Chain A
Amino acid sequence: AYRTDEGQPWVLPVVKKVEQMIANDNSLNHEYLPILGLPEFRANASRIALGDDSPAIKENRVGSVQSLGGTGALRIGAEFLRRWYNGNNNTATPVYVSAPSWENHNSVFMDAGFKDIRTYHYWDATKRGLDLQGLLNDMEHAPEFSIFILHACAHNPTGTDPTPEQWKQIATVMKRRSLFPFFDSAYQGFASGSLDKDAWAVRYFVSEGFELFCAQSFSKNFGLYNERVGNLTVVGKDADNVQRVLSQMEKIVRTTWSNPPSQGARIVATTLSSPQLFDEWYGNVKTMADRVLLMRSELRSRLEALGTPGTWNHITEQIGMFSFTGLNPKQVEYMIKEKHIYLMASGRINMCGLTTKNLDYVAKSIHEAVTKIQ
């Protein structure tokens, strides 16, 4: 979760404002939402992902399912794919998850009934970057119709994203091999500060004619973690297909949670549908993204000034909340035990934990760990 420079959780100012508006609105009650969610939320959420000028939206071939966070969106999508993709109830369709990925991806698809979950090459530890060749190779050799979970931006946990050129190569192979793109978009806006930039890959795939799913989370970019606000965007060939898909997703939702929670969706819908509130929100998002970007550049420059062995440009080249520092498990142990700095054994740090007050200490500690421990 995001933290301020004081190390505190941050409720976005625009969220506070909108919550007050909702509280003061006596015409609102707590009645059930429709099964697929609040209509104004669904439409706005998908518009954010695909862009105001999205041809798919114009052509009326986009569907949306309000879900319990990004996880809920992934689960509804996974349940639907298991029932209806590549035949009926084909649990053998391979599902590819990046190595590494968010650990819950595996569990979501397993619990949805898929029996064959595999990894695709992603992180190259030696060069501390994307293993594009490994990735493309895995796609070339994946069985036709395999499902690939793609991180739309700010890859979790490595912070390493394909460049636009690399995305183009990925799309080319996926089209040729008839692979299904399931995007996980948990950081739109939060990664670069630009909604459009962070959605580039998803929109590119749409423009290339793919049918795809995109699980969206508004936990980070709206700071609405515990309200569980998510959206599954469905892009299909035409309105008729999308309509039938949604009717079946409705049945899946009905036995999972019946209908989604209203509070978070109201906050997001109200914000996104008002030009003024939307601008305020964009400013709040940029505040968060900029702070993280600042911490990245400050950490890198300190390490380089200290002359810490190795190269540290990956700290600023990576994007989003997390950074794969390259520290090995022994160095991580040193950081935890000797310096009381807590990070994952993988060397992953949460950039949100850095503040102007602790930057020096963290940089020095990394320097010590790298020079003392091999």
Chain B
Amino acid sequence: SSQSEVEETLKRIQSHKGVIGTIVVNAEGIPIRTTLDNSTTVQYAGLLHQLTMKARSTVRDIDPQNDLTFLRIRSKKHEIMVAPGKFALLLSLLFFVIYLLNPDI
């Protein structure tokens, strides 16, 4: 079934070394599926959604033929990766992966 495929793909990404959590979010920033706890999910979804929209609009402002494919935010402790869905689709989905980079001793 398509659901199991989706689950499998998500699980595959989640099982990578260093990945802390994944969140799937719809166009409005409401989380659909997550592996983190609720409050964290909601916070990340809300904040990152806005940032992604901003980044996408920036890219398209510079060149309307262009589109945002991937957004990576690196901080001291973590790295956040965001992949937006197709701009044309009504219900474009976002996908976040939160990934721990370089765990300190």
Q: Do A and B come from one complex?
A: no
